[in-house]
A and B are shown apart, each in its own frame.
Chain A
Amino acid sequence: MDIANYIYLSVLLFTIGAIGVVIRRNAIVVFMCIELMLNAANLAFVTFSRVHGNLSGQVASFFTMVVAACEVVVGLAIIVTIYRSRRSASVDDASLLKR
């Protein structure tokens, strides 16, 4: 199997994730898209680890998973809190920063 296909898949997943972050309003979906981008990166790490024949890439992917797990904990907590106070999970509603 051609190794490039893994990279194509990774790029595809990352792009879908990035587009999702930019165009979706629902915070949960945006969050999921971020996870998708992280996993696309993981896939690339693992692929390149295989290509180079050492384990650095795989170690990096573990780090990414740990970070992703922490992020999910904090991020979901924030989203739930915002939803509680505003009855909405839309990221566009939380635009107070400009003022």
Chain B
Amino acid sequence: MTTSTNLVYLIALPLFSAALLLLLGRIADKWGHIFATLISASVFVIGAIEFFAMQGRDGEARAATQKVFEWISVGTFQVNASLLLDQLSICFVLLITGVGTLIHIYSIAYMSHDHDRRRFFAYLNLFIAAMLLLVLGDSYLNLYVGWEGVGLASYLLIGFWNQKPAYATAAKKAFVANRVGDVGLSLAIMIAFTQFGTVTFAGVKEGASGASAGALTAIGAMLLLAAAGKSAQFPLQSWLGDAMAGPTPVSALIHAATMVTAGVYLITRSNFIFDASPTAQLMVVIVGAITLLFGALIGTAKDDIKKALAASTMSQIGYMILATGLGPVGYAFAIMHLLTHGFFKAGMFLGAGSVMHGMNDEVNMRRYGAIGKVMPITAATFGLGYLAILGVPPFAGFYSKDKIIETAFNAGGIEGILLGGATLLGAAITAFYMTRVIVLTFTGTKRWDENAHPHESPFLMWAPMAILAIGSVTSGFLLSSGSALVNWLQPVVNEHHEHHAEEFLPPLVVSTMALAFVAIGVAFAVLKYRTVPLIAPTDVSLFTKAARKDLYQDSFNEAVLMRPGQKLTAGLITTDYKVIDGLVRSVGWIIQTTSSTLRSIQNGYVRSYALIMVLGVLALVTAIWMVTL
């Protein structure tokens, strides 16, 4: 372990910038976006310096730590605000700051007409700070702070145009769904603390070897719940589609490249828990497999280009989660897919934003068509991302996704065949819906609105797209040549190369099968979308109807969670009103009624007072007489 003094600046700089831009208000309008972009770029530079410094060290000394301050100190319970930069964190740091900076640059142009651009950049920097804290924290508690921070930034950015009620609702939906996951994370931390007495990664790792299987499974399940919330995995997936209400750069940065992959980070970081609990691992692969198919199916029926890409994100993160559930051999491939996905999906989202920018913010792909001719750079960068996500060699996805498919098959037995089949099927469906996006958007005939005058986006927008496209082409090769990433991550995820001995299918066969499936998917889409009606046809199969309705995820949530919840609150309110308040009010009512009855005696007539006096004296005399008799 090396100690470093630079790590805190990774978080402090963007945090300071966010605070500055928010506090200065309109004064900073003129230079706020440039300032935020420079801060983001400088954080990337610090990250790169740290990365090269790491390369210079070897073995144990690679990971660097920095204790910022003593945070909580209660008896034996001690938590320091410490940062840990190891081989896993640095991947994320470079991804977050690198893609983040590109998206900052893109946003300068994309948001140029928005009079709240400064606030937007402040939130983006807040996100960068929170996300870096998430990946740099050396304990679950530090991670939790970043985890909540990115949730906040995500909420603020989804609801950035909160003057539209639907967007504000989408932000709330994302927040609530994430909250469910956050409860899982806090429970996992509590269980870890009761079991091991510490919440640092190192401490929990040490304790995990001697812990009971039940405790480990419980922690694993809770961590999985947390990951499902943040990464839009089944059953907490429903918020991601609506999160597309945010500005497109946000969708690219937060809801495609970085924040939604936090769940993958969490599981990879907690590899010692999952490796020790096969039950938890099984849950992880099941969730991953369900989500990868779920997202892919939704993607096939979405006409909104951003929602189609969001469904694709959900599906691709399903691949990563599945890979993390496959044990030590899967982590590196999950992270590799995460990095390549960060490039190609962010690039495609920026491409979608570029198309929207030229088409008066139209998102319906049925109103696109033949945009490739007027926006050649956007079409080219999007196309490269498309080839990457399909897994066509030698693009990035080929190296990462095929590895996941291969690893899934190698899981062995029935499980391996089921998982491998699911990933292959997912690849075919991915090919179908991504081809559909391409065909509907960039080729075919013009179906534009008459007011639309699409034009190529300015340099500040296409340059980041071009860089990301280069990443989508080369990152896979660079990361996998000589198993670079696998070896790099080896100290963190403890991979031993034992699994490679018992291969179920050789890599070549897997790649060929995957390509064949992809080709089928592409062919289907090309044949099906030779003509595109302007209005989505309604006489479609039951299956398409279900996919259009997001496989009824919202209806399910509404029927099973929302309505009973509303009933419950209504019932509780009634109980509170009738029973608890009723008790208090009835006391008042009794006193009031009694007093108003008694008050009528006080009628003000002297004669009636006299009569009562007489009667009273008579009663008194009678009583005395009775007693003495």
Contacts and interface: CB of A to CB of B under 8 A. Distances in A.
Interface stretch (A20-28, A55-63, A67-75): A20-28
Contact of A95 (B605, B610, B614): B605
B463 to A, nearest CB: 87
A94 B603 contact: no
Nearest to A92: B605
A87 interface: no
Interface string A73-99: 000000000000000000110111111
B604 A96 contact: yes
Interface in A20-69: 21-23, 25, 30
B603 to A, nearest CB: 5
B602 interface: yes
B610 A22 contact: yes
Nearest to B603: A98
A18 B611 CA distance: 8
Contacts of B605: 91-92, 95
B611 A22 contact: yes
B614 A18 contact: yes
B527 interface: no
Contact of A98 (B602, B610, B611): B602
Interface residues of B, number: 9
Contacts of A98: 602-604
Given A18-B614, A22-B611, A22-B614, A99 B604 contact: yes
Interface in B577-603: 602-603
Contacts of B611: 22
Contacts of A95: 603-606
Contacts of A92: 605-607
Contacts of B604: 95-99
Contacts of A25: 607
A94 B606 contact: yes
A84 B207 CA distance: 101
Nearest to A21: B610
A81 to B, nearest CB: 15
B625 to A, nearest CB: 14
B401 to A, nearest CB: 90
B120 to A, nearest CB: 68
A25 B606 CA distance: 9
A23 B605 CA distance: 11
Contacts of A96: 604
Interface residues on A, range: 10 to 19
Contacts of A91: 605-607
B608 to A, nearest CB: 8
Nearest to B608: A22
Contacts of A18: 614
A24 to B, nearest CB: 8
A30 B611 CA distance: 13
A93 B414 CA distance: 103
Nearest to A19: B614
Contacts of B602: 97-98
Contacts of B603: 95, 98
Nearest to A97: B604
A92 B614 CA distance: 18
A18 B616 CA distance: 13
B610 to A, nearest CB: 5
A4 to B, nearest CB: 17
Nearest to A33: B610
Contacts of B610: 21-22
A44 to B, nearest CB: 14
A97 B605 CA distance: 8
A98 B603 CA distance: 5
A23 B606 contact: no
Nearest to A25: B607
Nearest to B606: A91
Nearest to B614: A18
Interface string A3-23: 000000000000000100111
Interface in B294-328: none
A23 B614 contact: no
Interface in B250-268: none
Nearest to B610: A21
B28 to A, nearest CB: 68
A98 B605 CA distance: 8
A30 B614 CA distance: 14
A6 B611 CA distance: 26
B547 to A, nearest CB: 77
Nearest to A91: B606
Contacts of A21: 607, 610, 614
A23 B614 CA distance: 12
A5 B606 CA distance: 33
B127 to A, nearest CB: 70
A48 B610 CA distance: 27
Nearest to B602: A98
Contacts of A30: 606-607
A94 B604 CA distance: 8
B132 to A, nearest CB: 76
Nearest to A15: B614
Interface string B606-624: 1100110010000000000
A38 B580 CA distance: 58
B395 to A, nearest CB: 95
B58 to A, nearest CB: 98
Contacts of B614: 18, 21-22
A1 to B, nearest CB: 26
B531 to A, nearest CB: 90
Nearest to A99: B604
Given A18-B614, A97-B602, A97-B604, 9 more contacts: A22-B611, A23-B607, A30-B606, A91-B605, A92-B607, A94-B606, A95-B603, A96-B604, A98-B604
6 contacts: A18-B614, A21-B607, A23-B607, A95-B604, A95-B605, A95-B606
Interface of A: 18, 21-23, 25, 30, 91-92, 94-99
Minimum-distance CB pairs A-B, first 9? A98-B604, A95-B604, A97-B604, A91-B606, A22-B611, A21-B610, A95-B605, A98-B603, A18-B614
